[in-house]
Structure 1
Amino acid sequence: MVIVEFVVVPLGEKSLSRYVAEIVKLLGTRGIKYQLTPMSTIIEVPTVEEAFEIIKEAHELMFKLGAQRVSTTVRIDDRRDRSVRMEDKVRSVMEKVHGG
Protein backbone atom coordinates (compact mmCIF):
# COMPACT_ATOMS: atom_id res chain seq x y z
CA MET A 1 0.00 0.00 0.00
CA VAL A 2 1.04 3.56 -0.69
CA ILE A 3 0.19 6.20 1.90
CA VAL A 4 -0.13 9.70 0.50
CA GLU A 5 -0.71 12.98 2.28
CA PHE A 6 -1.96 15.84 0.17
CA VAL A 7 -3.26 19.37 0.52
CA VAL A 8 -5.25 21.13 -2.19
CA VAL A 9 -5.70 24.84 -1.59
CA PRO A 10 -7.80 27.16 -3.75
CA LEU A 11 -5.79 30.34 -3.28
CA GLY A 12 -7.60 33.50 -2.30
CA GLU A 13 -10.35 31.72 -0.37
CA LYS A 14 -10.92 32.61 3.30
CA SER A 15 -12.65 29.36 4.21
CA LEU A 16 -11.64 26.01 2.77
CA SER A 17 -14.13 23.68 4.45
CA ARG A 18 -16.57 23.57 1.52
CA TYR A 19 -13.72 22.67 -0.82
CA VAL A 20 -12.37 20.00 1.52
CA ALA A 21 -15.89 18.58 1.89
CA GLU A 22 -16.07 18.13 -1.89
CA ILE A 23 -12.74 16.29 -1.90
CA VAL A 24 -13.99 14.01 0.88
CA LYS A 25 -17.12 13.31 -1.19
CA LEU A 26 -14.90 12.51 -4.18
CA LEU A 27 -12.86 10.04 -2.12
CA GLY A 28 -16.08 8.45 -0.86
CA THR A 29 -17.46 7.93 -4.35
CA ARG A 30 -14.15 6.38 -5.40
CA GLY A 31 -14.13 4.07 -2.36
CA ILE A 32 -10.75 5.38 -1.24
CA LYS A 33 -9.62 4.80 2.34
CA TYR A 34 -8.79 8.22 3.76
CA GLN A 35 -8.06 10.07 6.97
CA LEU A 36 -8.95 13.73 7.26
CA THR A 37 -6.67 15.79 9.50
CA PRO A 38 -6.93 19.46 10.46
CA MET A 39 -4.22 20.34 7.92
CA SER A 40 -4.36 17.68 5.17
CA THR A 41 -5.96 14.55 3.80
CA ILE A 42 -4.21 11.18 3.86
CA ILE A 43 -5.17 8.38 1.49
CA GLU A 44 -4.13 4.75 1.22
CA VAL A 45 -4.05 3.27 -2.29
CA PRO A 46 -2.35 0.32 -4.01
CA THR A 47 -0.12 2.34 -6.35
CA VAL A 48 1.50 5.73 -6.77
CA GLU A 49 -0.21 6.01 -10.15
CA GLU A 50 -3.63 5.68 -8.52
CA ALA A 51 -2.66 8.29 -5.92
CA PHE A 52 -1.65 10.78 -8.62
CA GLU A 53 -4.88 10.12 -10.51
CA ILE A 54 -6.96 10.88 -7.42
CA ILE A 55 -4.94 13.96 -6.51
CA LYS A 56 -5.24 15.28 -10.05
CA GLU A 57 -9.00 14.78 -9.84
CA ALA A 58 -9.13 16.67 -6.51
CA HIS A 59 -6.95 19.45 -7.95
CA GLU A 60 -9.18 19.87 -11.00
CA LEU A 61 -12.29 19.75 -8.82
CA MET A 62 -11.24 23.05 -7.24
CA PHE A 63 -11.44 24.76 -10.64
CA LYS A 64 -14.85 23.20 -11.27
CA LEU A 65 -15.95 24.73 -7.96
CA GLY A 66 -14.88 28.18 -9.11
CA ALA A 67 -11.30 28.56 -7.91
CA GLN A 68 -9.07 30.64 -10.18
CA ARG A 69 -5.75 29.46 -8.73
CA VAL A 70 -4.93 26.21 -6.92
CA SER A 71 -1.85 25.04 -5.03
CA THR A 72 -1.42 21.31 -4.35
CA THR A 73 1.21 19.71 -2.12
CA VAL A 74 1.88 15.95 -2.04
CA ARG A 75 3.93 13.71 0.26
CA ILE A 76 4.29 9.97 -0.50
CA ASP A 77 5.27 7.01 1.69
CA ASP A 78 5.90 4.10 -0.70
CA ARG A 79 7.44 1.01 0.90
CA ARG A 80 8.57 -1.85 -1.30
CA ASP A 81 9.99 -4.11 1.43
CA ARG A 82 6.64 -4.71 3.17
CA SER A 83 3.09 -3.45 3.23
CA VAL A 84 2.28 -0.89 5.91
CA ARG A 85 -1.14 0.63 6.44
CA MET A 86 -2.04 3.95 8.06
CA GLU A 87 -3.22 2.35 11.29
CA ASP A 88 -0.03 0.26 11.52
CA LYS A 89 2.10 3.40 11.59
CA VAL A 90 -0.06 5.03 14.26
CA ARG A 91 -0.19 1.85 16.35
CA SER A 92 3.60 1.54 16.27
CA VAL A 93 4.03 5.04 17.67
CA MET A 94 1.32 4.66 20.32
CA GLU A 95 2.87 1.38 21.54
CA LYS A 96 6.12 3.27 22.12
CA VAL A 97 4.28 6.11 23.86
CA HIS A 98 2.66 3.64 26.26
CA GLY A 99 5.87 1.67 26.86
CA GLY A 100 5.02 -1.27 24.63
Structure 2
Amino acid sequence: MAIVDITVIPVGTGTPSVSEHVAEIHKVLREYDGKVKYQLTPMSTLIEGDLTLLLEIVQELHEVPFKKGLQRVCTNIRIDDRRDKDNTMDRKLQSVQEKL
Protein backbone atom coordinates (compact mmCIF):
# COMPACT_ATOMS: atom_id res chain seq x y z
CA MET A 1 0.00 0.00 0.00
CA ALA A 2 1.29 3.47 -0.88
CA ILE A 3 0.59 6.98 0.34
CA VAL A 4 0.50 9.93 -2.05
CA ASP A 5 0.73 13.53 -0.89
CA ILE A 6 -0.80 15.70 -3.62
CA THR A 7 -1.13 19.44 -4.01
CA VAL A 8 -2.95 20.72 -7.08
CA ILE A 9 -2.13 24.37 -7.72
CA PRO A 10 -4.44 26.19 -10.12
CA VAL A 11 -2.66 29.10 -11.82
CA GLY A 12 -4.39 32.25 -13.07
CA THR A 13 -7.56 32.06 -11.02
CA GLY A 14 -7.75 35.80 -10.42
CA THR A 15 -7.94 35.28 -6.66
CA PRO A 16 -5.53 34.04 -3.98
CA SER A 17 -8.15 31.60 -2.65
CA VAL A 18 -8.11 28.01 -3.92
CA SER A 19 -10.65 26.44 -1.55
CA GLU A 20 -13.25 26.15 -4.32
CA HIS A 21 -10.79 24.10 -6.40
CA VAL A 22 -9.85 21.94 -3.40
CA ALA A 23 -13.54 21.24 -2.81
CA GLU A 24 -13.94 20.13 -6.43
CA ILE A 25 -10.97 17.78 -6.05
CA HIS A 26 -12.51 16.24 -2.93
CA LYS A 27 -15.78 15.70 -4.78
CA VAL A 28 -13.81 13.55 -7.22
CA LEU A 29 -12.15 11.68 -4.35
CA ARG A 30 -15.57 10.83 -2.91
CA GLU A 31 -16.11 8.68 -6.01
CA TYR A 32 -13.29 6.45 -4.69
CA ASP A 33 -14.76 5.92 -1.21
CA GLY A 34 -14.09 2.32 -0.22
CA LYS A 35 -11.23 1.98 -2.72
CA VAL A 36 -8.80 4.48 -1.19
CA LYS A 37 -8.49 6.40 2.04
CA TYR A 38 -7.92 10.15 1.81
CA GLN A 39 -7.37 13.01 4.21
CA LEU A 40 -7.51 16.75 3.62
CA THR A 41 -4.78 18.71 5.39
CA PRO A 42 -4.27 22.49 5.49
CA MET A 43 -1.57 22.28 2.79
CA SER A 44 -2.32 19.16 0.72
CA THR A 45 -4.34 15.97 0.43
CA LEU A 46 -3.10 12.52 1.42
CA ILE A 47 -4.38 9.46 -0.43
CA GLU A 48 -3.68 5.87 0.63
CA GLY A 49 -4.14 2.77 -1.50
CA ASP A 50 -2.79 0.67 -4.35
CA LEU A 51 -0.10 2.64 -6.18
CA THR A 52 -1.47 1.92 -9.66
CA LEU A 53 -4.87 3.28 -8.68
CA LEU A 54 -3.34 6.25 -6.84
CA LEU A 55 -1.44 7.30 -9.96
CA GLU A 56 -4.66 7.15 -11.99
CA ILE A 57 -6.36 9.31 -9.35
CA VAL A 58 -3.46 11.81 -9.41
CA GLN A 59 -3.97 12.30 -13.15
CA GLU A 60 -7.72 12.72 -12.68
CA LEU A 61 -7.23 15.29 -9.89
CA HIS A 62 -4.70 17.21 -11.97
CA GLU A 63 -7.38 17.61 -14.66
CA VAL A 64 -10.02 19.09 -12.32
CA PRO A 65 -9.00 22.77 -12.69
CA PHE A 66 -8.67 22.37 -16.48
CA LYS A 67 -12.26 21.13 -16.59
CA LYS A 68 -13.22 24.37 -14.81
CA GLY A 69 -11.67 26.41 -17.63
CA LEU A 70 -8.20 27.14 -16.29
CA GLN A 71 -5.31 27.02 -18.72
CA ARG A 72 -2.46 26.21 -16.32
CA VAL A 73 -2.15 23.82 -13.38
CA CYS A 74 0.91 22.80 -11.36
CA THR A 75 0.63 19.59 -9.36
CA ASN A 76 3.13 18.45 -6.75
CA ILE A 77 3.16 14.83 -5.59
CA ARG A 78 5.22 12.80 -3.15
CA ILE A 79 4.91 9.03 -2.99
CA ASP A 80 5.70 6.94 0.08
CA ASP A 81 5.76 3.31 -1.05
CA ARG A 82 7.05 1.01 1.68
CA ARG A 83 6.98 -2.70 0.99
CA ASP A 84 8.56 -4.32 4.03
CA LYS A 85 5.45 -3.77 6.18
CA ASP A 86 2.04 -2.13 6.14
CA ASN A 87 2.39 1.50 5.17
CA THR A 88 -0.71 3.37 6.26
CA MET A 89 -1.32 6.92 7.36
CA ASP A 90 -2.58 5.68 10.72
CA ARG A 91 0.45 3.44 11.28
CA LYS A 92 2.85 6.27 10.51
CA LEU A 93 1.11 8.59 12.97
CA GLN A 94 0.94 5.88 15.64
CA SER A 95 4.67 5.19 15.29
CA VAL A 96 5.49 8.83 16.01
CA GLN A 97 3.00 9.05 18.88
CA GLU A 98 4.58 6.01 20.54
CA LYS A 99 7.92 7.78 20.53
CA LEU A 100 6.64 11.03 22.09
| TM-score normalized by the length of structure 1 | 0.90
1:56 pairs with one of 39, 54, 59: 59
Structure 1 gaps, min length 5: none
Give the alignment of 1:1-100 within 5 angstroms. 1-13=1-13, 14-31=16-33, 32-47=36-51, 49-97=52-100
- In structure 2, the gaps of 5 or more residues are none
2:60 maps to amino acid: E
Backbone CA RMSD of aligned residues: 1.0
Query: Number of residues paired by the alignment?
Result: 96
SS of match in other structure, 1:18: helix
**2:57 aligned counterpart, secondary structure:** helix
What CA distance in whole angstroms lies between the structure 2 residues aligned with 1:67 and 1:45? 29
The normalised TM-score by structure 2 is: 0.90
1:12 Cα shift? 2.3
Moved over 6 A (4+): none
